[in-house]
Amino acid sequence: MFKEFREFAMRGNVLDMAVGIVIGAAFGRIVTSFVEDMLMPPLGLLLGKVDFSSLFVSLSGKTYESLAAAKAAGAATLNYGLFLNHIVNFMIVAFAIFVLIRQVNRLKREQPAPAAAPTSKDCPFCLSAVAIKATRCAHCTSQLS
């Protein structure tokens, strides 16, 4: 059983998938940092100095200064600011994957096969199709060059 598992794990597809998962996780962290640390702060500044990650609604009816204070008090909160951050994360990752897949598909497109050599030509006198190697037209018996 161990031998079968080792053969399964060492197949090329499994190793490729493992590498893809590790790189995908690292890419996800980069995108998360980009959204939370680079994209959302200027966007929040443009929208009136709003920090999206701190936007929330307290479901208990009490007001709290920050999301951290609400969580410390154990209040149930609806964290729509964090949800907006995650939507932006998703959109960036989805777009990056779209661009990557589009490029891979462009590279994978099969090149058109070279045109096959013609097997017939037209007779210049009667315009009938004759074999390439023919010296006379089979239809009008004209001499072909």
Q: What residue spans in the chain does CATH classification 1.10.1200.120 cover?
A: 2-109
Is pLDDT at 28 greater than 70 in this prediction? yes
| Distance, CA of 96 to CA of 35 (rounded, Å) | 14
Number of H helices, E strands in the chain: 5, 4
Tens of pLDDT, residue by residue over 51-106, are: 777 788 888 888 888 888 888 888 888 888 888 888 887 888 788 888 888 888 88
What is the structure's pLDDT at 111?
A: 67
- Which CATH class for the 2-109 domain? mainly alpha
Confirm if 130 and 137 have CB atoms less than 8 A apart.
Answer: yes
Tokens of 77: 């909160």
Contact assessment for residue 52 and residue 85, using Cβ atoms and an 8 Å cutoff? yes
pLDDT at 19 over 70: yes
Strands (E), the chain: 57-58, 77-78, 120-122, 129-131
Give the model's confidence band at 45: pLDDT under 50 very low, under 70 low, under 90 confident, else very high.
confident
- What's the DSSP call for residue 128? -
Q: Distance between CA 41 and CA 53 in Å, rounded?
A: 10
pLDDT at 17: 81
Tell whether the model's pLDDT for residue 133 goes beyond 80: yes
